[in-house]
Amino acid sequence: MTTLTAPPVTAALETRGITKHFEGVQALRGVDLEVRPGEIHALLGENGAGKSTLIKIITGIHRHDAGDVLVGGERAEFPNVRAANRAGVVALYQELSIIPSISVAENISLGEGPPSTAGIVRWGEMRRRAGQQLIRLGQRIPLRRLAGDLSPVQQTMVSVARALSIDARVLILDEPTASLTDTEIEDLFRVLRRLREEGVAIVYVSHRLEEVFEICDRLTVMRNGKSVLTQTVGESTIDGVISTMVGREQSDLYPPRGTATEEVVLGVDALTGSRVRDVSFTARRGEVVGIGGLAGSGRSELLRLLAGAQKRVGGSVTVGGSPFRGRSVGQALDAGLALVPEERRSQGVILTSPIDENISIPNLASVSPGGVVSGRRIAKLAASAMSDLRIKASSARQPVGQLSGGNQQKVVLAKMLARGPRVLLMDEPTRGIDVGTKAEIYRLIRELAAGGTTVVVVSSEIPELIGLSDRILVMHEGRVAGELDAATADEEIVLTHAYGRSA
């Protein structure tokens, strides 16, 4: 008989050799994951590696083909999400799952079911409990407001509050911070740390590795549907994790600059919207202009004003010397201004249509020589977009709705890139996208610039802003607070301007 030196801790959640096949795709090929009570365990991997699929199997949304899921040491195969929730296993999904047509309080109470007496809902009690969850998150959101009227950030917080309202033993968060600001992320982390102390096992999926290294205790890396590494964060390095994720050494992340010419393409004069005030700048052919600033400083609104997606109150815009009046998105596109919006998943794609149609429909002219739609050109356009952006799919005919979250975003990007605009406006182009593909997107942006496109990029990631841009405009409360040469800028100076602290 062997003697154990220490009793093993029973894992709160464990998966052994999970496999899952979708039509045409082997999504999972054997995933081992072990999450202990009182730890925050990161689940990492490139877009399409299988993270969300694994989570959906654990919570009863998908059936697995082989392998076991164990909760508290017992085999568990939940028939649906409700059953998983009852067993204390709760997931917050990548796609927000709030119901827009009902109130905030009702959305939160969906977790444990509304309190009722003899079948009659106790509305006051429901609002009280929902309010408590929001206070726990440090959020002030009106409980009677329709969830659909909230900002994306508030909607995320409502779904976090719902997950918390269930007494979870295992809490799984699939990219919870994708649309949160830094202070909101800190609020969320405070809550997660408290839950960890209470002994909750937390699985944390994120493409932001700095975040993972800040909050997580251990990590498991998935590659191509398999778990390939589990270790403590203490014994890991960001570079090491990245090369395990992508299965190769990471080349230089940012391509060299120096594609800007002297020719001014975009002229913006005293542009004013609801938040944006009196913004003036020019951008040249082949130049990449980065827009920095805190969330709410007017960065996204500036892009929307330029793209005709929001009504301007004052000021003027010229493209190639001709005035652009900014009345509609269609007019903007005709003038050569194209926007890749921040909320790509909801705004940009038809989920039931295949990849090739999503990419080619807005680019009909380029695939229809002489007015006749050419199947061959559609196929060619889709194939080159898929290889440029490394879109992971079984074929170009796969419906976009079946792709992983990050790969859906790449389709939207591909669609806009294929239009070949004179000025490309991009809002957070790498949010939700894995590190390997980030480098591809940076390379692509620089190639477009080298080909004469002017690129204006909003990013919350300051290293990205500095690495990618030629010039950086930093916004503060609707105005341009500073203009920096990216080659000599550092994070501190960007932040100084962003907080409006520059002399």
Ligand X SMILES: Nc1ncnc2c1ncn2[C@@H]1O[C@H](COP(=O)(O)OP(=O)(O)OP(=O)(O)O)[C@@H](O)[C@H]1O
Q: Is 52 among the residues that bind Mg ion (CB under 5 A)?
A: yes
Q: Is 432 among the residues that bind Mg ion (CB under 5 A)?
A: no
Identified binder of Mg ion from the candidate list 290, 405, 421, 478, rule CB under 5 A:
405
Q: Minimum distance from CB of 503 to ligand X (Å)?
A: 42
Identified binder of ligand X from the candidate list 150, 161, 335, 403, rule CB under 6 A:
403
Task: Check: CB of residue 478 under 8 Å from CB of residue 275.
Answer: yes
Q: Minimum distance from CB of 20 to Mg ion (Å)?
A: 14
Query: What sign results for the dihedral spanned by CA atoms 439, 250, 46, 13?
Result: negative
Q: Is 408 among the residues that bind Mg ion (CB under 5 A)?
A: no
Q: Is 273 among the residues that bind ligand X (CB under 6 A)?
A: no
Coil, strand or helix at 476: strand
Binding segment for ligand X among 51-59, 82-90, 379-387, 479-487 (CB under 6 A)? 51-59
**Can you tell me the distance from the alpha carbon of 235 to that of 212, in angstroms, rounded to the nearest whole number?**
13
Q: Is the CB of 11 or the CB of 44 nearer to Mg ion?
A: 44
Pairing mode, strands 314-319 and 322-324: antiparallel
Identified binder of ligand X from the candidate list 52, 159, 358, 469, rule CB under 6 A:
52
Phi/psi-derived region of residue 293, left when phi > 0, alpha when psi is between -120 and 50, beta in every other case? left
Q: Is 65 among the residues that bind ligand X (CB under 6 A)?
A: no
Q: Minimum distance from CB of 405 to ligand X (Å)?
A: 3
Q: Minimum distance from CB of 94 to Mg ion (Å)?
A: 5
Q: Is 22 among the residues that bind ligand X (CB under 6 A)?
A: yes
Q: Is 45 among the residues that bind ligand X (CB under 6 A)?
A: yes
**Can you tell me the distance from the alpha carbon of 122 to that of 355, in angstroms, rounded to the nearest whole number?**
47
Q: Using CB distances below 5 to 8 A depending on partner kind, what does residue 403 bind out of Mg ion, ligand X, none? A: ligand X
Residues 87-106, one symbol each (x = binds Mg ion by CB under 5 A, - = not), give -------x------------
Q: How far is CA 188 from CA 150, 168, 193, 293, 391, in A?
A: 18, 16, 9, 22, 31
Identified binder of ligand X from the candidate list 139, 177, 363, 404, rule CB under 6 A:
404
Binding segment for ligand X among 20-28, 112-120, 134-142, 323-331 (CB under 6 A)? 20-28
Residue nearest to ligand X (CB): 406
Q: Is 436 among the residues that bind ligand X (CB under 6 A)?
A: no
Binding segment for ligand X among 45-53, 130-138, 263-271, 479-487 (CB under 6 A)? 45-53
Residues of this chain, 406-425, that bind ligand X according to CB under 6 A:
406-407
Q: Minimum distance from CB of 154 to ligand X (Å)?
A: 23
DSSP 8-class letter at 451: T
Q: Using CB distances below 5 to 8 A depending on partner kind, what does residue 48 bind out of ligand X, Mg ion, none? A: ligand X
Contacts of 457 (CB under 8 A, 6+ apart): 288, 289, 290, 291, 426, 429, 445, 465, 468, 469
**Can you tell me the distance from the alpha carbon of 311 to that of 276, in angstroms, rounded to the nearest whole number?**
11
| Residue among 181, 145, 174 at smallest CA distance from 160 | 174
Euclidean distance between the first and the last CA atom of the chain, given in angstroms as a whole number: 74
Q: Is 159 among the residues that bind ligand X (CB under 6 A)?
A: no
Two tokens, residue 415: 């669609």
Identified binder of ligand X from the candidate list 51, 127, 304, 312, rule CB under 6 A:
51
Identify each DSSP E strand in 36-79 by its residue range. Answer: 40-44, 66-71, 74-75
In 10 A of CB 368, how many CB atoms?
14
φ/ψ of 83, rounded to 5, equals -65, -40
Q: Using CB distances below 5 to 8 A depending on partner kind, what does residue 475 bind out of ligand X, Mg ion, none? A: none
**Can you tell me the distance from the alpha carbon of 426 to that of 432, in angstroms, rounded to the nearest whole number?**
14
Q: Is 176 among the residues that bind Mg ion (CB under 5 A)?
A: no
Give residues in contact with ligand X (CB under 6 A): 22, 25, 27, 45, 47-53, 94, 392-393, 402-407
Give residues in contact with Mg ion (CB under 5 A): 52, 94, 404-405
